[in-house]
Structure 1
Amino acid sequence: MTLMHKQAAPVLEIKALKDSGEFEGYGSTFGGEPDSYGDVIAAGAYTETLAAHKSRGTMPKMFWQHDAGQPIGKWLDAEEDDKGLLMRGKLNMGVQRGKEAYALLKEGDIDGLSIGYRIKEYSVDTDSGVWTLEKLDLMEVSVVSIGANENATISSVKAAKMAHDFTERLKAGDQLTEREFETWLKGLGFSNSQAERAARLHLKGQGEPVKAANDALELLKALRA
C-alpha cells in the first residue's frame, strides 16, 4: 500500500519542563471530537510503529516546525497511555534553536507539538467526512507555534489517499457504494455535480457495478467528454 504523509494539528499539553531541557507532553490524544483536519486518532494507532522503533533502537525525530534541517533535540521515550501519545524528550541546549524553543516553552509563548506520520490503516465516515486513523507510522514529532500545513493541503493528501485505495478496490473487483464512488471521483478532481452524476451511472443498469478500474476509467472519459 502506498503510504501518504501528513502532519497533525498541534495538541501539546506540557507535563514537565526542566532546566536541563527535558520535558513531557502529549503529541496527540485519542478519540474525542475530530481535530481541525476532520481526524480522530484511534487508541492503539501507534502500537506497531513504537514497537518497530524500539526493535531498531530508534525514536521519532524532534524538529522545529517540521523543518528537517532544524533538529532541536531528541525524544527519549514515547508510549501510549489511556489519553494518547505521551512523549518525553530533551531539547539540545547547545544549539541556538534549542535554547529558543526552551525559552518559548517556559514562558508559554508556544505550546504545540505536531506529529508527522504516514497513514497505514484508516476508516472514513463518508457522511460526516471524519477519518479515524487506526494505524500510523510515526516519523517525527515537532515543537511548533502553529499548525504546519493549511487544511487545503491536508485535504488534498487525504483525497489522494482515498482515491488510491478506492482504485485498488475497483481493480480487485469490489463494488463501491454510491457515496464511496462519488467521493472517489471528487478525489480525482471531478466537480460535485459530475461526481453525483457518475455515482448514479455507476449503480445503474441491472444492478451491475463497475467491477474493474479500466471500466471505471472509460466511464470517466465519457463524463469528461
Structure 2
Amino acid sequence: MDELDFALDVKSINDDGDIEGLAVGYGNLDHGGDIVMPGAITASIASRKSIPMLLYHDQKRPVGVWNRFSETSDGLLVKGRFSPTSAGREAREDAKCGALAGLSMGYNTVRQKFEGKARQLLEVALHEISLVTIAMNDKARVMRVKEVEDLRGRLAAGDRLTEREWETLLKKGFDLTNSEAERAVRIHLKKGQGDPDGTADPMAAFWAAMRSAPIEDLTGED
C-alpha cells in the first residue's frame, strides 16, 4: 500500500471531536513527486459509507472514522469524528496542539502515467486516511469547522456569546490574528454591543462598532 500526505490545519478540530478537511489535493506536485489528478478518487468512494481514521497507517491504531466525502475542484473533502476512546481523545489533542500536523491517505495505484519525473495518479483505490506528524503536500487544507458554524447559528438565534467565543468566531471565521480579534472584541464591548439582547442583529451591531471606532483602536497604535 502506498501513502500520500497532506497538511493539516488544526482549526478544523472542535472539542466535540468533529474534524473536517481536504484529505486529497488535486493537481499539486507533492514533495515525493506525485500528483493526484482530478477524479482519481471518484470510483473508490462511490459506494463507501465510511473510511477508517488511523494513526500512522497502523491498522491496530484506529482513532476515529471518516463518514462524509465530497469531491470539489480542489480535491476530496472529508468529514469525520474522533472515537470516544483514550486513543481517539489523545489523537484529537495531539492534532489540536500541532503534534499531528498532517493527513495521509493509504491507497493502491490503479492507473498512472509519468510526465517527466512527476507521477500522475489517474485512479487510486483509497483504503484509509491517517493522522501523521509530517505532511508532504502543501495544497490540502482543512476547512472551517463545526465550531464556527455553531457560533454563527447561536448568533442568528439571538444567543449571547462570551468574550472568548467572540474571539474564536473572529479568528476562525474571519481569519483575524489573536491580537486583531482581541482588539475587535474590546471595541465591541466598549460600544456596549457585547451582550446582545436578541432585538437586533448582533453581527450587524459588531461591524457597526468596528466602522465607528477610532483608527488607533483598530490598529493598536497610539
The alpha-carbon deviation at position 75 of structure 1 amounts to 0.9
Give the Cα separation in 2 of the matches to 1:16 and 1:10: 14
Partner of 1:49: 44
**Aligned residue number for residue 106 of structure 1:** 96
Q: What is the percent sequence identity of the aligned residues? A: 30
Alpha-carbon distance in 2 for matches of 1:16, 1:147: 16
> 1 CA distance for matches of 2:23 and 2:9?
8
> Which amino acid is 1:25 matched to?
G
Could you say which residue in structure 1 is the equivalent of 2:122? 134
Match of 1:22 among 6, 18, 26: 18
How far did 1:97 drift?
1.6
Alpha-carbon deviation of 1:15?
A: 5.4
Task: Name the aligned partner's letter for residue 106 of structure 1.
Answer: K
Deviations 1:153-197 (A, max 9, x none): xxxxxxxxxxxxxxxxxxxxxxxxxxxxxxxxxxxxxxxxxxxxx
Do 1:59 and 1:77's aligned partners in 2 also have CA atoms closer than 8 Å? Answer: yes
Cα offset for 1:107? Answer: 1.8
Q: TM-score, normalised by structure 1?
A: 0.57
How many residues are paired up? 136
Aligned to 1:12: 8
Q: Secondary structure in 1 aligned to 2:46?
A: helix
The CA distance in 1 between the partners of 2:127 and 2:92, in whole Å, is 22
Match of 1:177 in 2: none
Shift of 1:50: 0.9
Q: Unmatched 5+ residue regions in structure 1?
A: 149-225
* Higher RCO, Cα 8 Å, sep 6+: 2
The 3-state SS of whatever aligns with 1:9 is strand
Q: Which amino acid aligns with 1:108?
A: G
Q: CA RMSD in A?
A: 1.8
Query: In structure 2, the residue corresponding to 1:103 is in which secondary structure?
Result: helix
Deviation at 1:30, TM superposition (A): 0.7
What aligned pairs does 1:31-70 form with structure 2 within 5 A after superposition?
31-32=27-28, 34-53=29-48, 58-70=49-61
CA distance, structure 2, for counterparts of residue 130 and residue 9 of structure 1:
16
Q: What are structure 2's unaligned runs of at least 5 residues?
A: 137-222
Residue number in structure 1 paired with 2:86:
96
Counterparts of 1:15 and 1:106, CA distance in 2: 8
| 1:14 CA displacement | 4.7
1:13 and 1:28 map into 2 onto residues whose CA distance is 14
1:32-85 deviations in whole A, cap 9, x for unaligned?
Answer: 3x21221000011111111132xxxx3221111110001101112112111111
How far apart, in 2, do the equivalents of 1:78 and 1:144 lie? 20
How does 1:173-188 map onto structure 2 within 5 Å?
none
Q: Cα offset for 1:11? A: 2.8
Q: Which amino acid aligns with 1:130?
A: A
TM score, norm. by length of structure 2: 0.57
CA distance in 2, matches of 1:51, 1:109: 32
Give the 3 Å change call, closer, same or farther, for CA 40–130 of structure 1 in structure 2.
Answer: same
Whether 2:132 is the aligned partner of 1:144: answer yes
